[in-house]
Structure 1
């Protein structure tokens, strides 16, 4: 796993507004992609350490959205909204992520899923509307650490699925997806 805040790419027009995080995950990319695109999986691993997620609505399709609340370990609730902009099965997801559908400070993320031998390399490239919003996300909300922890949670969850012979069927939680 490696993380960069893209500070050294002066020639790249969005370098001062982006965060790039990647991780190797020991599972086929189809399974990693599924864990990222099905609400029954997302609710089991999404978010930094200590956070839980309650989904209000979820429609994984271009133009669809995921309306959810992240519950912080200190009891703070964070309203979140993701709109799916591009989906290339098992390869790429582009999304817009904010507090609501009309959030003027929403950021764009592109996730790529690449086969690397028996593993999957997932890259999460996030571009904020301004350098100031990126810096605030890094300093106030610990976006780099939170992104690393989220991908670590994904890796641990997928490892759990691959250890289970029936994998995908037994991974669905019982009851609500919170």
Structure 2
């Protein structure tokens, strides 16, 4: 198992950050690293709900993703299990802080070898995801790609 943890203070309330996660139109705008876009086919934001989407890379390659929402605590936590390979669980924790919200992004990968081989990409991608989320809640609108 391999764990990746990234935190960021975002100048917005936990409710505002949570809104950018629970709204599929907003989530599709910021989810993923820079240059990626998303097409959601299923998004049932509830514990046990499926989330099926294709992440489109900058080169046009489509990456199918199948996830399940494991736990949702409004304004404070979303836990997701990535069902297709690579298998991982992602927790997005939201805590009030002086700046607004401390977002802690924790990914736990089953395959440690895969995670270690991808560490450079995953760490950069996680930081870009948090950058895009911060822009989404800061502007309340679309994020540039």
Normalising by structure 1, report the TM-score. 0.75
1:126-165 matches, cutoff 5 A: 126-139=107-120, 142-161=121-140
**Gaps in structure 1 of 5+ consecutive residues:** 1-13, 162-170, 173-178
Counterpart in the other structure of 1:59: 44
Give the number of the structure whose alpha-carbon radius of gyration is greater: 1
Displacement of 1:130 in angstroms is: 2.7
Displacement of 1:118 in angstroms is: 4.3
More strand by share: 2
1:17-166 matches, cutoff 5 A: 17-99=2-84, 103=85, 105-139=86-120, 142-161=121-140
Displacement of 1:32 in angstroms is: 0.1
CA distance in 1, matches of 2:50, 2:7: 24
Where 1:63 maps in the other structure, the secondary structure is coil
- Matched pairs, number: 142
The ranges of structure 1 where at least 4 consecutive aligned residues each deviate by more than 3 angstroms after the TM superposition are none
RMSD value, Cα: 1.5
Normalising by structure 2, report the TM-score. 0.91
Deviations 1:10-58 (A, max 9, x none): xxxx6xx110011111100101011011102111211111111000111
CA distance in 2, matches of 1:159, 1:116: 16
Q: Is the 8 A contact 2:87 2:111 kept in 1?
A: no
Range with bigger deviation, 62-71 or 128-137: 128-137
Q: With CA pairs under 8 Å and 6+ residues apart, which has the higher RCO, 1 or 2?
A: 2
Range with bigger deviation, 151-160 or 37-46: 37-46
Displacement of 1:136 in angstroms is: 2.7
Deviations 1:100-127 (A, max 9, x none): xxx4x41011110000024111001111
Where 1:78 maps in the other structure, the secondary structure is strand
